[in-house]
Structure 1
Amino acid sequence: MSGPVVHAVHIFLVTLIIVNVTAVVLQSVPSLESTWWWLFIAIEVLSGVIFTAEYAARFWCAPEHAPWRHLKPWHARLKWALHPQSVIDLLAILPFYLAYWDIESLRVFLLLRLFRFFKLARYSPGLTSLIEAIYSERRALIACGVILLGTVLIAASAMNLVEREAQPDKFGTIPEAMYWAILTLTTVGYGDVVPITPLGRAIAGITAVAGLVMLALPVGIIASAFSREIHRHDFIITWSMVVRVPLFEDLSAEEIASVMHRLRSQSCTPGEIIVHKGELAHSMYLIASGEVEVLLPGEAVRLGPGDFFGEIGVLKRRRRGVTVKAVTTCKLLVLDAEDLHQLIDANPTMAQHIDEVIEARKDRREGV
């Protein structure tokens, strides 16, 4: 869904989250809490009611979410409830119901109000892209963690070996030396534990240099993945846009998700040639916004948002039969030929459906 009303609701919820988190932070100041206690309570009550209503509405409407429409309503709602973002939403409203009970052990639920900050991820494409980037590189990041752990163990063991006689209280055991190793590798270095022997200082220098590499690895991995996600999501790729394409409309939810993951974005300026007649067909294009013009013999056909072109040349592995240029500023979704053929090879039903669509559209879209 989109539109001014939805946009206004999103702005309101984002503002409420920011106000709520700010109130939690300021409430920790005794003077402010005693003076503005009534305002903090009002913000908490308003937030609790609205966040509860939001959670209930999303829970109830889960069967209407495109990837889960084929599931039974209870199954779709269960999948929604177990989604990480839904768990955050639940943790964000629990304090409203539990934190003010007259049970001292439940006071810790007050801290859960800070989980409301993470609700911003639902309304921020940038945060969503960062989360997706981290998830997509989870295996590489886990490998970095294993390497870091191994380096910590080696550095701690070496320092324990050369410093335990000089400083038994600080390097007497490997677990104690691991504290120093972690601080050194992360380049924090509090200075409360330092080697005093020449060999120990040499090991410390090597460990510090290794720490630079340890930090650079995950930072580089996340930065690269984040850049790819931002490029892919510099405009919204909606589920409905993909399923509107006849080539994909009958695919399963898993197949649609696979198609969306392989799409990349391309921006075009007015007058820019997107497809040249006679060139090898290397991609098919879906129009997200703007208009293009297909230059057919004797006429020009305009295509707009939701339309697509270039698929027949890719699937038939032949040269383009027409030229296509941008009429206005356009944003396109591009599916490369290699990716399309890989999807076909992995999904026989997709290949059969594509053949049927091509036959049905051959006369109307010949050459494009």
Structure 2
Amino acid sequence: MSARPFLKITAPLNGLLAAVGLVTVAALTAREIGSTTRLSLELVLAAIWAVYVLQLVDTLIRRRATDDRGLTPELVIDLMAVVVPLIGFLLAGSPDQGLYCGIWLLKPLRHFTFFRMLGRVVARAAPNLVGVTSVFGIVLFGASLIAYLIERDVQPDKFGSIPLAMWWAVTTLSTTGYGDEIPMTFAGRVLAGLVMMSGIGIFALWAGILATGFFEEVRRQDFVRNWQLVAAVPLFQKLGSAAFVEIVRALRPRVVPAGAIICRKGEAGDQMFFIVEGRVSIQTPSPIPVELGPGSFFGEMALMTGEPRSATVSAVTEVSLLSLYSEDFQMLSSSNPEIADVIRRTAEERRGGAGQG
């Protein structure tokens, strides 16, 4: 186990190794490079492959330590990065051996949470995506069949069979239009116009399904994160489940770096803040500033009275905040009067003692 820190490869290093390896693979395809340069490039690939062997060992050690015997994407990528180039070295001819290292394109994916999100989005949207893909297949084959019937006698070299016509249908459906196959008859051109419009609609459906899926996934993640943040504020722990969901949706998370000004005296106040983590300093008429920590809130007086901010608040440390806007505060006041009463009483006490926000 003492060797594990050496075996551990960070995400940036993984991406750098993959980039160097792929550039080396591309360089090896150049015919004009000399034998010495080729040998040097092959040694670079061998060194990267050796590093990936160590990374595979690290993955297996970690899985053994946690008694994880499942086949994860991380393990599959690490195995392929080692096994596929080895097979290429053993079976392929010398000029093509390095091409098998192209599998390293997958290496950066093992660290990116985006691709995991993409997998979840595709999995959830699979029925709709399959439905649109089925429509695409139907339109593709139908257009190829009709184009074959219309154009086969006019252009037998390009539309002489359905497979030949299918290439034209693909380029037309995607609105690429390479121009290598063009209908010559009037009916064929009408068909081409209909296929183009169908293609625009199909690709718009694909894009819309994925965009909706990404929006819902991001909103779901934001909701879970906000839930965890709100649960850390003692004031909200007494809320019922329905009210808790409402406040989670109303509050907006915000992270402020140390030393930054959160709000200034004299500014219009349209929101108040709850501290999740960190500490803030409130500049009062007293020479000693007031500090607030996790679970406290500030800025409520300007929110409730509509008056300008009565104090300047800055971050002593990096602060994780939840902000509540005035319209959401009104909603909170009507649905949870006990929470609103606590905020109002605190505001009155602070108003009597010089105020905070």
* Structure 2 counterpart of 1:44: 45
In the aligned structure 2, how far is the partner of 1:229 from the partner of 1:132? 8
What's the RMSD between the two structures over aligned residues?
4.3
Judge conservation of contact 2:14–2:107 (CA < 8 Å) in 1: no
- 2:268 matches 1:267: no
Quickly say closer, same or farther: Cα 1:97–1:8, change in 2 above 3 A. Answer: closer
Q: Compute the displacement of 1:120 (Å).
A: 0.7
In the aligned structure 2, how far is the partner of 1:229 from the partner of 1:43? 40
* Structure 1 counterpart of 2:15: 14
* Structure 1 counterpart of 2:72: 83
* CA deviation map 1:90-120 (0-9, x unaligned): 111124433223x447986643311212211
In the aligned structure 2, how far is the partner of 1:230 from the partner of 1:6? 34
- The number of residue pairs the alignment matches comes to 258
* Structure 2 counterpart of 1:170: 158
Q: Compute the displacement of 1:85 (Å).
A: 3.5
- 2:153 matches 1:152: no
Q: Based on CA coordinates, which of the two structures has the bigger radius of gyration? A: 2
Quickly say closer, same or farther: Cα 1:144–1:86, change in 2 above 3 A. Answer: farther
Stretches of structure 1 lacking an aligned partner (at least 5 in a row): 246-262, 276-285, 293-299, 305-325, 333-368
* Structure 2 counterpart of 1:62: 63
Quickly say closer, same or farther: Cα 1:46–1:152, change in 2 above 3 A. Answer: same
Q: Compute the displacement of 1:61 (Å).
A: 1.0
What TM-score, normalized to structure 1?
Answer: 0.57
Judge conservation of contact 1:100–1:107 (CA < 8 Å) in 2: no
Q: Compute the displacement of 1:202 (Å).
A: 0.5
- 2:338 matches 1:330: no
In the aligned structure 1, how far is the partner of 2:221 from the partner of 2:7? 20
* CA deviation map 1:104-137 (0-9, x unaligned): 4798664331121221112333444344433443
In the aligned structure 1, how far is the partner of 2:217 from the partner of 2:97? 34
SS at match of 1:32: coil
Judge conservation of contact 1:99–1:106 (CA < 8 Å) in 2: no
SS at match of 1:330: strand
Judge conservation of contact 2:42–2:98 (CA < 8 Å) in 1: no
In the aligned structure 2, how far is the partner of 1:301 from the partner of 1:273? 14
In the aligned structure 2, how far is the partner of 1:213 from the partner of 1:94? 42
**Equivalent of residue 167 in structure 2, options 175, 179, 184:** 179
Quickly say closer, same or farther: Cα 1:56–1:121, change in 2 above 3 A. Answer: same
In the aligned structure 2, how far is the partner of 1:205 from the partner of 1:159? 12
Q: Compute the displacement of 1:331 (Å).
A: 6.9
* Structure 1 counterpart of 2:307: none
Q: Compute the displacement of 1:158 (Å).
A: 2.0
In the aligned structure 1, how far is the partner of 2:151 from the partner of 2:210? 36
Q: Compute the displacement of 1:164 (Å).
A: 2.6
- 2:82 matches 1:93: yes
SS at match of 1:31: coil
Judge conservation of contact 2:153–2:160 (CA < 8 Å) in 1: yes
* CA deviation map 1:12-50 (0-9, x unaligned): 222111111111111111223635223312321221111
Quickly say closer, same or farther: Cα 1:98–1:166, change in 2 above 3 A. Answer: closer
In the aligned structure 1, how far is the partner of 2:92 from the partner of 2:162? 39
In the aligned structure 2, how far is the partner of 1:48 from the partner of 1:83? 21
In the aligned structure 2, how far is the partner of 1:145 from the partner of 1:17? 33
- 2:202 matches 1:201: no
SS at match of 1:99: helix
Judge conservation of contact 1:55–1:90 (CA < 8 Å) in 2: yes
Judge conservation of contact 1:23–1:40 (CA < 8 Å) in 2: yes
In the aligned structure 1, how far is the partner of 2:54 from the partner of 2:220? 32
Quickly say closer, same or farther: Cα 1:331–1:164, change in 2 above 3 A. Answer: farther
In the aligned structure 2, how far is the partner of 1:182 from the partner of 1:58? 43
Letter in 2 for 1:219: A
